Amino acid sequence: MAIIGARIDNRLLHGIVATSWAPDSGATRVMVIDDDVANDPQKKQAMRLGRPSGMAVSIITKKTALENFSNHKYDRQKVFIISQTPEVFLDLLEQGEKIDKLVLGGTLTFDNAIKVTKRAYIKPEQVEIYQAILNKGCKIVSQYVPQDDSVDLAKVLKSKKAGA
């Protein structure tokens, strides 16, 4: 089965993800893909404290994630992936992994950023990456908590291109 949930969130694994997103997805494993956290034992240990009840947690580098998926390590699991950047998800899609929907959650604000919602922004240089993800057949929505109305990112990008 593999990837059943995917989220971009600058805080990675935190309360909202652990108590709402991951459990609501039906995941058996929460996977944080982040080179910085995976290579820092203290950050990694702190992140593990947010493990959702009853779920395994992996905190790994992008390289390790791509290798593990390529080797079918998670084929019998239901994996919910969290990363801070869209590049991780594009790399997985380009490798042949199936991701039906990507949720853009909370992000940092950036200079010249495209505002998607009051909590989600896209760097101008990431527009092509998001477009490539959409072109792979993955729907992208912005939603901070599951109860929020979702914002279709394809429509936001289209309106920005039109100059709206």
Domain with 66 in it: what CATH number? 3.40.35.10
| Domain membership of residue 109 as a residue range | 2-161
pLDDT tens, 33-44? 999 999 999 999
φ, ψ of residue 108 to 5 degrees: the values are: -80, 160
Q: Which one-letter DSSP state was computed for residue 61?
A: -
* Residues in Cβ contact with 44 at an 8 Å cutoff, skipping those fewer than 6 apart: 37, 38, 59
| CB-based burial label for 111 (10 Å; 0-12, 13-18, 19+) | exposed
The string of pLDDT tens digits covering residues 59-83 is 999 999 999 999 999 999 999 999 9
* 77-104 pLDDT tens trace: 999 999 999 999 999 999 999 999 999 9
Q: Are strands 114-117 and 101-104 parallel, antiparallel or unpaired?
A: unpaired
Is residue 164 over pLDDT 50?
A: no
CA-only gyration radius of the chain, Å = 15
Structure confidence at residue 110 as a pLDDT band (50, 70, 90): confident
Q: How many domains does the chain have?
A: 1
Distance CA 157, CA 139 (A): 13
Assign 108 a pLDDT band (cuts: 50, 70, 90): confident
Is 66:73 a contact under the CB 8 Å cutoff? no
Report the C-alpha dihedral over residues 88, 92, 95, 98, rounded to 10 degrees.
-160
The angle subtended at Cα 153 by Cα 150 and Cα 65, nearest 5°, is 95
pLDDT value, residue 160: 73
Residue-averaged pLDDT of the chain: 93
The model's pTM? 0.92
Q: What is the model's pLDDT at position 140?
A: 98
Backbone φ and ψ of 120, nearest 5°: -130, 130
